[in-house]
Chains A and B, each alone.
Chain A
């Protein structure tokens, strides 16, 4: 049995526009030293899927830089490995092959690649889904149940806003899907939430995309899944580990902070036996804490030098916090430099931001302040 993976890198870019102005959603930093794509890539590699296509749209420079040859995920391979599929636009561009807006259109645009697939099954994943899932178990479940498509879901409580950003999945007692509710505006309570990870037979996927092209379909959920519920066997796969779906900047901030507050959650994402999360190796030295440092309740990556105070914060690789500075409730991306006697609260600083000596900045828990890449304050 062979399995290939497909990852959609741009689908939800507009959800956190602050962070995706200069990068794809897939390369948005998360959890101290990772990029969002590290999660689907690691999930696939940890389940022995070594043939992965990443479908890109625009702004994929940072993503290509991050993935490189794929060797940090064990994906630099003679056969298979990771392959980036940029938009396929011919010189005679017309509406039919303009940039895609949905997963189905994305698949249609890389149909030339899909046609060459030869594996038995395909696992498809979005990249804003942060989880640590055993895909092997999901694939076995898919094969045993004889499903046409298996969708990973997590049973959880949703607020009205959270429901608005997710697809709810309803199934009967045998696990067969009876209804899908994309982005409901009036739902609150417990439901199965779509993780946007699915397993499908390769031949069925190829047929489905060809049919969609012929019919002019646009949405995978609305046009394909919902239309075929009556005669196709679509099933749910229950996942109960860590899951975060990033669908707004506030979500992004809250989900990062939760990793500090809830150590069990941290462990269920990063501490799963034999399923580590891989990321690009940056060859940083360890982090140095000077005798003037005061650090509590924080997640800190390597290569930092800390001489000030850090509380309830997430520091990515290579961050410097100078003497007398206080960083609270903040997320500082790679190589952020905080001078001396500065103060930051509820701030997200993008890569290479410089905070000069004595600068005081603060957002609010409901409205974190975002400082763009390379900005000097």
Chain B
């Protein structure tokens, strides 16, 4: 069960018309491709995707699940939006409520175990190993944890365990953390226990219907067998603009922090029919990723370019994430920026500041920046405030 209804308000303009899991990532992926690909690579063939906020792009992207081999006669992918029932209609009130409202979906397939995932993390994980641990421990619930530096532990939900990995205590953002095991928001439940506690949670009018805040503490209090499963490897929450930018940069380098070239654990995505990319005579590329449909005549350094990006001669793109269909005209200079799709950057424009000491600049989709425009870092530029930056009312 993939929770993909989040708004992702801290991604600001990037999620204005798109749910967070459908935000583009890594040139040709969307965030949801990572948990989806992890599922199929782990041998899971029945996936429910719970949507709520701005679902159009996400629904269209998931489609019949064909890119992930989830177009199945039995199972496959099912999009689960909130719905009107006999006793009225309700939005998903919290993560636990979203699953509660879809217990009938789970019952249709009657699985012994249910995996709950979020649609906003970048990582590669074999859930089948976690399930094997869950079975071995005869657990009611297993929570994946990441060992974070103790100094940062107070930002996470922290699990305290005994020597066998059995969870003794759960603390949400503790001031004085007793362990460095941070919950990744990935849960495996024995389905019968999940149903029992979701139904109880639903009866409780005081509950905010959230797994971390309500269901997990309730299960602990009831003495359920709950275990932590330690995940080792790359994991990144891309809930903020800076972390989204950082996660993109982690794809670069040789070897990169996060490897997309592993043929044994492929990340699947919905394909667009673009031609190969074309590198012109004056192009200079360094530590960058470029994909189909791009035409590069300028300089690209430490950057990720999505489909169909044009970088004209004399333009320089540094330390940036450029989404699909963006055109960067001759002589423009871009550094430390995220530029959303189909924006046009005029000739000799200067956008963003140097990465060292600067702050991230974000440009919304579909903007048209005139020649010579200058915008410094640390801004969020969209259609509504563009005029303020370029000194013109009509753009």
Q: A286-B289, A288-B254 are in contact. Are A298 and B279 (CB under 8 A)?
A: yes
Q: Are B276 and A300 in contact (CB under 8 A)?
A: yes
A270 to B269, CA, bound (A): 22
Q: A296-B281, A297-B280 are in contact. Are A290 and B273 (CB under 8 A)?
A: no
Q: Are A286 and B291 in contact (CB under 8 A)?
A: yes
Residues 254-276 of A contacting B (Cβ, < 8 Å): 260, 263, 266, 270-271, 276
User: At the interface, yes or no: A234 with Cβ under 8 Å from chain B?
Assistant: no
Task: For the complex formed, measure the closest distance between the CB of A310 and the CB atoms of chain B, giving whole angstroms.
Answer: 8
Q: Are A296 and B280 in contact (CB under 8 A)?
A: yes
User: At the interface, yes or no: A302 with Cβ under 8 Å from chain B?
Assistant: yes
Q: Are A266 and B278 in contact (CB under 8 A)?
A: yes
Q: Are A291 and B287 in contact (CB under 8 A)?
A: yes
Q: Are A287 and B291 in contact (CB under 8 A)?
A: yes
Q: Are B291 and A290 in contact (CB under 8 A)?
A: no
Q: Are A31 and B276 in contact (CB under 8 A)?
A: yes
A266 to B289, CA, bound (A): 22
Q: What residues on A are CB-neighbors of B269 within 8 Å? A: 283
User: At the interface, yes or no: B267 with Cβ under 8 Å from chain A?
Assistant: yes
Number of B residues near A (Cβ < 8 Å) is: 38
CB-CB contacts of B263-306 with A at 8 A, as 1s and 0s?
00011110101111111111111111111100000001000110
Q: Nearest CB to that of A266 among chain B residues? A: B278
Specify the main secondary structure of chain B where it touches its partner: loop
Q: Are B28 and A71 in contact (CB under 8 A)?
A: no
Q: Are B252 and A288 in contact (CB under 8 A)?
A: yes
CB-CB contacts of A288-309 with B at 8 A, as 1s and 0s?
1111011111111111010100
Q: Are A295 and B276 in contact (CB under 8 A)?
A: no
A278 to B272, CA, bound (A): 9
Q: Are B283 and A296 in contact (CB under 8 A)?
A: yes
Q: Are B267 and A286 in contact (CB under 8 A)?
A: no
Q: Are A270 and B254 in contact (CB under 8 A)?
A: no
Q: Are B28 and A286 in contact (CB under 8 A)?
A: yes
Q: What residues on B are CB-neighbors of A310 within 8 Å? A: 279
User: At the interface, yes or no: A285 with Cβ under 8 Å from chain B?
Assistant: yes
User: At the interface, yes or no: B261 with Cβ under 8 Å from chain A?
Assistant: yes
List 16 other contacts, CB 8 Å, given A293-B286, A297-B280. Answer: A31-B276, A33-B275, A71-B66, A276-B274, A286-B27, A286-B260, A287-B290, A288-B252, A288-B254, A288-B261, A289-B286, A296-B280, A296-B281, A297-B281, A300-B276, A300-B277
B residues at A contact (CB < 8 Å): 26-28, 66-67, 252, 254, 256, 260-261, 266-269, 271, 273-292, 300, 304-305
Q: List 13 A-B contacts (CB under 8 A).
A: A31-B276, A32-B276, A33-B275, A263-B278, A266-B275, A285-B260, A286-B260, A287-B277, A293-B285, A296-B283, A300-B276, A301-B276, A302-B28
Q: Which 8 A-B pairs have the closest CB atoms?
A: A270-B275, A32-B276, A285-B260, A286-B291, A289-B285, A286-B27, A276-B273, A286-B289
